Structure 1
Amino acid sequence: MTARGQPAVARPKCNGSADRAQTGAANRAGFPQAGVEVASRARIHRACDNFSLPADLFVSTSLKSLLVSLEKAGDFDEIIDVRTPLEFAEDHIPGALNAPVLSNEERVLVGTTYRQVSPFEAARIGAALVARNIAHHLETTFADRPRSWRPLIYCWRGGKRSGSMTTVFSMVGWPARQLDGGYKSYRRATVAALDTLPKTFTYIALVGPTGSGKTRLLSALHQAGAQTLDLEALASHRGSLLGAWAGVPQPSQKHFDTLLATALRELDPRRPVFVEAESRRIGSVALPLALLETFHRGACVEVRSSCEDRAAFLLHDYAHLFDDPDSLKGQLQRMIGLHSRERVAGWQQLVDENRRAELAHELIERHYDPAYARSSHQHFVQLPNALQLNFRPNDADVVDQAKTLLAQLESHAFAAI
């Protein structure tokens, strides 16, 4: 056994006169072929005599022995995602490094060849591309990794892409391993975690109409030492119809799930978690039902602010919308169905005339407040018993206001949660 508990593989000596005997012994021992025929193996041995190469350079350890489960991912120095950049961008294991063995375009080429020519031709082209890309990574990305470096490698489902890099890295001498089931095993684990993990926490929901400063209060509570879960930060969206972040795309649903599961694992279940009231969807992503149902049943703080404070808050937080009037008018156009065409046209005219304050008041009174009245008591069953906070979101003392709230909760019935 090696120092790391791996089976030691005896290397046949490079002796051209013993090629046939060595080849027969390897076959009797069940030595993996790794795509190299017996006669070809003998030629490799002869070449070793001339070039001083180890005879087993092109002979891989059984891939099955290199598989590890997701539970052991923490045992490795680095996690390598060999999928395409597009696949990686959609979602990946947290902390993974993307070292694709096929580029986006190369994967399309291989897939097209598979469908239109033949599986064999696709495999031939793919193997050449994968070999070339792995060689490039060895000469660049991984050129400085020490002999003891332990990488865990994965692709979509634990197939040929990650198997190829794992095999080559093992030949180099690194104790590389392949994630059994690939990204799909990680995705299944994430979905399963989001069915159970949210239920292990006690939540206090910050409930209030748009513009009352709930997100700012949540940040202030975090600064005051409370435990918080900022769903809008994870979703890169404010949650309202006009809540898109300027120039920041939302994560995919899969990546949002990963971010959420990661954030939940960092929380302490012995302490309450403050969370901003949300509906099922935050922009284009959806919250898991287990989380939504748990904090909808939990304790609440009703955040109240004056109409003037709310309008000023919206003008500050949504100021970027007026920098692109056409985009803002397009977003208002989506409100047709919730409001009459005439009313929406009036709001669009306010945009054209740069009457920001008037538009903010109109949206508060005619859109946001009625929507809040319809949904809040329906979703948050503990809202009638909520502690009420008169919050001034535009003042400089928001952290002090948050500390006052925490002190009130300590002496309130919330002390029991």
Structure 2
Amino acid sequence: MAAPIHVTAEPWLHTYSEIIDVRSPAEFAEDHWPGAINLPVLDDAERAEVGTLYKQVDPFTARKRGASLVAQNIARHLQTHFADKSRDYHPLIYCWRGGQRSASLALVLSQVGWQVTVLQGGYKTYRAWVRRQLQSLPQEFTYRVLCGPTGSGKTQLLHHLQRQGSQVLDLEKLAHHRGSVLGAEWGMPQPTQKSFESQLVQVFLQWDPAKPVWVEAESAKVGQLHLPPALWQALTQADCVEVRLPLEERVKGIIAHYP
């Protein structure tokens, strides 16, 4: 007898053996649930092919071709990723809207005998949850903002505070950007806005609201990424700790940290 397929709209209330994103690699790269793995049932080219058939031929032809591709990809995942999973394996599966792509893999895994949960609404449910968290979480904390001109060692001071056990919000690290007039982090593209926000939520969820958060003074944008409005408002109202350094020391710091 096949195991039942569970559907949830609040997956963060439970734990799972694994979180599986079955969207295409391009969709996964734009943003995904932190810690999720990507097992696409249609890759980027296949998804485009099925979409073209849907628009230019007819939905039936598109679904027939899509079913063939999905079956092949699921078979490959069964032979590789799922080959060594035990009986008590319990994954959470999601796609874009919680529709056919997640349902197709969930159905096959449940027929094997695994307990499977599908995220109702898919990635869109997760994304709505991220937006809600970013409206409330930043307001739960108090901040200590390090202020001072470029080269005064604010980032290095943040890293020292973090090593000492303080709660540190390193926006430049999350954004892959120096956050100053001297530009980006070399050789590393900035994440998408959605991915940046997902990372912010995960950081806040790890912290204790009773303890202050240290952060470097930034504008409302770090490179091309925008700070969530609730976070930006909280930072503008926070206490500022000014870092002062002689000009000669600032020059040495700039030369050392900005190739």
User: In which range does the TM-score fall when normalised by the shorter chain?
Assistant: over 0.9
Q: 1:70 & 1:183 partners in 2: Cα distance?
A: 12
Provide the rounded CA distance (Å) in 2 between the counterparts of 1:73 and 1:112.
38
- In 2, the alpha carbon distance for the partners of 1:266 and 1:66 equals 28
The match for 2:166 among 206, 226, 234 is 226
Among 249, 252, 255, which residue is 2:192 paired with? 252
2:229 corresponds to: 289
Equivalent pairs: percent with the same residue?
51
Question: 1:267: Cα distance to partner?
Answer: 1.1
CA 1:298/1:215 → structure 2, altered by over 3 Å: closer, same or farther?
same
Higher helix proportion (structure 1 or 2) = 1
Local SS of the residue matching 1:105: helix
Which residue of 260, 275, 279 corresponds with 2:215? 275
The superposition leaves residues 111-130 of structure 1 with CA deviations (integer Å, 9 ceiling, x where unpaired) of 11111111111111111000
Structure-1-length-normalised TM-score:
0.60
Equivalent in 165, 170, 183 of residue 123 of structure 2 = 183
For 1:332-347, what aligned pairs fall within 5 Å after superposition? Answer: none
Q: Deviations over 1:76-123 (max 9, x none)?
A: 111110001111111111111110000111111111111111111111
Deviations 1:323-374 (A, max 9, x none): xxxxxxxxxxxxxxxxxxxxxxxxxxxxxxxxxxxxxxxxxxxxxxxxxxxx
Out of 66, 70, 84, the position equivalent to 1:144 is 84
User: 5+ unaligned residues in a row in structure 1: which ranges?
Assistant: 1-8, 10-55, 320-417
Per-residue deviation, 1:289 = 1.0
**Structure 1 contact 86–104 (Cα < 8 Å) conserved:** yes
**Alpha-carbon distance in 1 for matches of 2:78, 2:11:** 27
How far apart are the structure 1 equivalents of 2:149 and 2:83? Answer: 55
1:264 matched to 2:173? The reply is no
Question: 2: distance between equivalents of 1:235 and 1:178?
Answer: 31
1:74–1:241 Cα change, 3 Å = farther
**1:221 Cα deviation (Å)?**
1.1
| Structure of higher RCO (CA pairs closer than 8 Å, 6+ residues apart) | 2
Q: In 2, distance between residues paired with 1:189 and 1:257?
A: 11
Q: CA contact under 8 A between 1:73 and 1:152: conserved in structure 2?
A: no
Give the CA deviation at 1:72. Answer: 4.9
Alignment of 1:239 with 2:179, yes or no, is yes
Distance, in Å, in 1 between the alignment partners of 2:236 and 2:152 is: 19
In structure 2, what residue type is equivalent to 1:189? W
Partner of 2:35: 95
Whole-Å separation in 1 of the counterparts to 2:241 and 2:12: 41
- 1:216 equivalenced with 2:156 (yes/no): yes
Deviation at 1:71, TM superposition (A): 3.6
Partner of 1:116: 56
Asked if 1:157 is matched to 2:94, the reply is no
1:70 is displaced (CA, Å) by: 2.5
Q: Does 1:76 align with 2:41?
A: no
**How big is each residue's C-alpha offset from its partner over 1:215-240, in whole Å with a ceiling of 9 and x where there is no partner?**
11100111222221111111111112
Counterparts of 1:270 and 1:227, CA distance in 2: 11
Uncovered stretches (5+) of structure 2, i.e. residues with no partner: none
SS of match in other structure, 1:174: coil
What corresponds to 1:20 in structure 2?
none
Q: Which protein is bigger by CA-based radius of gyration?
A: 1
CA-CA distance at 1:284 after TM superposition: 1.2
Partner Cα distance (2:71, 2:120) in 1: 21
Give SS of 2:177's match. coil
Q: For residue 134 of structure 1, give the secondary structure of its aligned residue in structure 2.
A: helix
Q: Which amino acid aligns with 2:117?
A: R
1:317 aligns with 2:257: yes
User: How does the TM-score come out when normalised to structure 2?
Assistant: 0.96
CA offsets 1:145-196 (integer angstroms, 9 cap, x no match): 0011001100001000000000010001101121111010000000110011
User: Comparing both structures, which one devotes a greater share of its residues to strand?
Assistant: 2
Does the aligned pair in 1 maintain the 2:11–2:119 contact within 8 Å? no
- Does the 8 A contact of 1:88 with 1:98 survive in 2? yes
Letter in 2 for 1:251: P
Is it true that 1:192 corresponds to 2:132 in the alignment?
yes
Distance, in Å, in 2 between the alignment partners of 1:92 and 1:168 is: 23
Count of aligned residue pairs for this structure pair: 259
Corresponding residue for residue 203 of structure 1: 143
Provide Cα deviations, 1:21-43, integer angstroms capped at 9, x if missing partner.
xxxxxxxxxxxxxxxxxxxxxxx
The one-letter amino acid paired with 2:178 is: R
What SS does the corresponding residue of 2:48 show, helix, strand or coil?
helix
Please state how far the C-alpha of 1:244 moved relative to its aligned partner.
Answer: 0.8
Q: In structure 2, what is the Cα distance between the partners aligned to 1:68 and 1:243? A: 43
Structure 1 position 303 matched with structure 2 position 243: yes
